[in-house]
Structure 1
Amino acid sequence: MQRQSWEQGVAAQALLDLGLDELAVLLADAAVTRQHPDGRLGDVSGEDGAVNGAACGEAVRHAAAVTGDPRYAAALDAQLDWLVVRAPRAADGTLFHLLGSRQVWADTVHMVVPLLALTGREELAAAQVAGHRRRLFDERSGLYAARWDCDEGRLVRPEHWATGNGWVVTGVARALRLGTRWPPGVRDELAGHARDVIDACLACRGADGLFPDVLDDPGAFREANVAQMLAYAVLTGAADGWLPESYAEVGRELVAAADRRVDARGLVTGVSGAPDFARPGTSAEAQAFHLLAHAALMSWGPEVSSEPDGGTAGTASAPTTAGTG
């Protein structure tokens, strides 16, 4: 499938989790080939995203390690220099999502926090979560708004967009797995916050196992990708010990619900659709999260499958049947 920088990165993360290392290196190579001179990986025709290319960093780091090619190490250094030093940010260091705009988006959490944790910058990773939480988190509902504008000093997209909440919890879950040097108490704080958001999201789940595209708006269309995102987060959290093991069963149910949306071509349908993510459709990121969710499910072994009889729903009988192209 056609991919933008963040979709390239999440697809590569899925390949890494599935153990498809050679394919992950190919995606990393493409991201480096498309690297902007300022360091942003996977830049496609002048993308205006300030942070999205960082999602490719994990695969580029892997490519550097397994190939020994200094091209990959240099590319990762440039991406990190952009992210840590030169990317546009608020006075407290919270990164802006787009070039030419002083907006903080929930999406950024997944784009940057795992890479910062993976590369030994756990304090910076936690600071990004904190900055996004201050601006976007609604204590009353336990959910994240989508966008805050620093110039206007207000939420410019206040709705609790399902995918935005998914980006937060998947980003934190992946960072907790990849980071090894969290300051005392920080890992537990991040895990507790992620659990709060996960629980608030799960409270919005319908009888079909899916969620409204705006979580607390029952009139919004039924969206399938957030089920996959939450499945990845809860299965990862339960495996890593910051969620009770009972959440693994929730993850199984979420994967099964999303699997029922997979069509005969392997496309996850009824997701927040590319290119504007404003209506139901398909997307490369949904394909990648299908694979990430199934990889997380497979790590639990046969006792936790995506259907009660041990099979999987629809046409997604194996994780690679809905590949990212």
Structure 2
Amino acid sequence: MTPWFTGLLTASSALSQPGLSNNTLASVRSRLLESSQASWELGTAAQALTEFSWPALSIYEKTAFPPPTHLSAALNASDVLDIAVKTVSKKPADSLPLIAGQGSAADPASIGVAVLLANWTRPDLSVTSFSKAASGQLEHLLHNTPRSAEGAISHRQDEVQLWADFIYMVPPFIAYFGALEGGYGAQALLQIAYDQCRLYRDALRDPSGLWRHIALGNWQDDSHWGTGNGWAAAGMLRVLETLNHSSEAHHFVGQQGNLTKWINEITAASWTYQKDNGTLYNVIDDPNSFPDTASTALLASVTYRMAAFTNDSSQIPAANKALKLVKKSIDSDGWLQDTTNPYTFHTPTEPGSHSPESQAFVLLLHSAHRAWIKFLSRK
């Protein structure tokens, strides 16, 4: 074996970490499907299932736009489309949001990409329910939701309040809508998706690069909540990849550069607080907080994806440590342990309880790690 090839193998080995077993992944997926109930849980599940089981349909592939108009037995996205079908079938006729009566204006939009995919791939072209549902959700966000003085669309419906979570729920949907639409309409929507990321960063980012969780409104959360930073980084990543793989990519070169910088700000700042065992804390920079595998998994997934996107492996050792921790933290039933309570933000998940979104984060992490290994094999 030649020395240069030996060196390449050694370098690749140092940058890789064994992934999760198929049996573990099957259990994680089952627990995800049985536990996801809230609007953002369903939307996050749909995205995770797309990346995990149907990567050719995900925005991380060159095949993303346009998706196939006819799905096959081998590429049917049945679990993703099932979420879209059930959501649209339950939506009241007079509701613009995909799920009515939510305090959050943003969370229902997280299911929007799945609904758009269902519309694009519907076998009966006379069916208009998916198109109308997605268009109604977009109209509600752009015209019926309050905004900050700077133009940031509110995460909440009853007042202007900005949550880091918004970035995963809304801009990826708006961007995907635009990428499917094409033409001038596409450029306008893709710019809106980017602008919302920019406006939220302006409002929530601190000098360290970490984002505060919640600003404005009648209460705030100034902590650098781990999952909030994960939502922000992962949401901007989805917008970045949508821009990159859309037919309008050449119009958004500068925006892609900014998003790349902004995502790396969050991941780089986060990993400086990583503990020796691989975990991040629930409040990333608070040593009095508690370990949280959920945000650790989500931020590691972003790190693997960004390494493949930028060909920069400098943060991979941190992601590998995180993956190793997550693997050890999944119990025999497929539940991720040691997560934050997603409904209280600042308490651990109680014994016997589980975090549905954390199950999705595990699948996102596996899918991103798989993509990273594939990227390494091509180098």
Give the TM-score category using the shorter length.
0.7 to 0.9
Q: Secondary structure at the match of 1:82?
A: helix
State the alpha-carbon separation in 2 of the partners of residues 254 and 2 from structure 1. 24
Match of 2:88 among 10, 32, 38: 32
In structure 1, the residue matched to 2:192 is: 124
How far did 1:248 drift? 4.2
In structure 2, the residue matched to 1:114 is: 172
In structure 1, the residue matched to 2:65 is: none
1:278 paired to 2:346: yes
1:296 paired to 2:365: no
TM-score by length of 1: 0.85
Amino acid at match of 1:263: D
For the 8 Å contact 1:8–1:31, the answer to whether it is kept is no
Alpha-carbon RMSD across the aligned residues, in angstroms, is: 2.1
Aligned residue runs from structure 1 range 171-320, under 5 A: 171-179=235-243, 180=246, 181=248, 183-241=252-310, 244-281=312-349, 282-301=354-373
Match of 1:138 among 206, 222, 246: 206
State the alpha-carbon separation in 2 of the partners of residues 303 and 134 from structure 1. 33
Aligned residue runs from structure 1 range 45-194, under 5 A: 46-68=101-123, 69-120=127-178, 121-139=189-207, 141-149=208-216, 156-179=220-243, 180=246, 181=248, 183-194=252-263
For the 8 Å contact 1:162–1:212, the answer to whether it is kept is yes
State the alpha-carbon separation in 2 of the partners of residues 275 and 161 from structure 1. 13
Amino acid at match of 1:103: Q
Alpha-carbon spacing, 1:74–1:159, altered in 2? closer, same or farther (3 Å): same
How far did 1:246 drift? 4.3
How far did 1:92 drift? 2.4
How far did 1:71 drift? 1.5
How far did 1:303 drift? 9.0
State the alpha-carbon separation in 2 of the partners of residues 123 and 302 from structure 1. 31
Amino acid at match of 2:232: V
For the 8 Å contact 2:274–2:280, the answer to whether it is kept is yes
How far did 1:122 drift? 1.7
State the alpha-carbon separation in 1 of the partners of residues 50 and 232 from structure 2. 20
State the alpha-carbon separation in 2 of the partners of residues 300 and 12 from structure 1. 21
Please list every run of 5 or more consecutive structure 1 residues that lacks an aligned counterpart in the other structure. 305-325
Amino acid at match of 2:43: G
Q: Secondary structure at the match of 1:280?
A: coil
Larger Rg computed on CA atoms: 2
Please list every run of 5 or more consecutive structure 2 residues that lacks an aligned counterpart in the other structure. 1-34, 55-76, 179-188
Q: Secondary structure at the match of 1:204?
A: coil
State the alpha-carbon separation in 1 of the partners of residues 97 and 357 from structure 2. 19
User: What per-residue deviation string (whole Å, max 9, x for no partner) do you get for residues 86-138 of structure 1?
Assistant: 22212322011112122111110111111122222221111111111121110
Amino acid at match of 2:323: V
For the 8 Å contact 1:33–1:42, the answer to whether it is kept is no
In structure 1, the residue matched to 2:9 is: none
User: What per-residue deviation string (whole Å, max 9, x for no partner) do you get for residues 136-173 of structure 1?
Assistant: 1101x2111111115x7xx8211111111111000011
State the alpha-carbon separation in 1 of the partners of residues 288 and 156 from structure 2. 30
- Give the % identical residues: 28
Q: Secondary structure at the match of 2:301?
A: helix
In structure 1, the residue matched to 2:42 is: 8
May I ask how many residue pairs the two structures share in their alignment? Answer: 298
How far did 1:235 drift? 1.4
State the alpha-carbon separation in 2 of the partners of residues 103 and 206 from structure 1. 32
How far did 1:275 drift? 3.1
For the 8 Å contact 2:163–2:214, the answer to whether it is kept is yes
How far did 1:18 drift? 1.9
Which gives a bigger RCO, structure 1 or 2 (Cα 8 Å, sep 6+)? 2
Alpha-carbon spacing, 1:229–1:136, altered in 2? closer, same or farther (3 Å): same
Amino acid at match of 2:88: V
Deviates more, 1:65-74 or 1:247-256: 247-256
Deviates more, 1:116-125 or 1:219-228: 116-125
Q: Which protein is richer in helix relative to its size?
A: 2
TM-score by length of 2: 0.74
For the 8 Å contact 1:229–1:289, the answer to whether it is kept is yes
Alpha-carbon spacing, 1:302–1:129, altered in 2? closer, same or farther (3 Å): closer
State the alpha-carbon separation in 1 of the partners of residues 298 and 99 from structure 2. 22
In structure 2, the residue matched to 1:323 is: none
Q: Which protein is richer in strand relative to its size?
A: 1
Alpha-carbon spacing, 1:64–1:158, altered in 2? closer, same or farther (3 Å): same
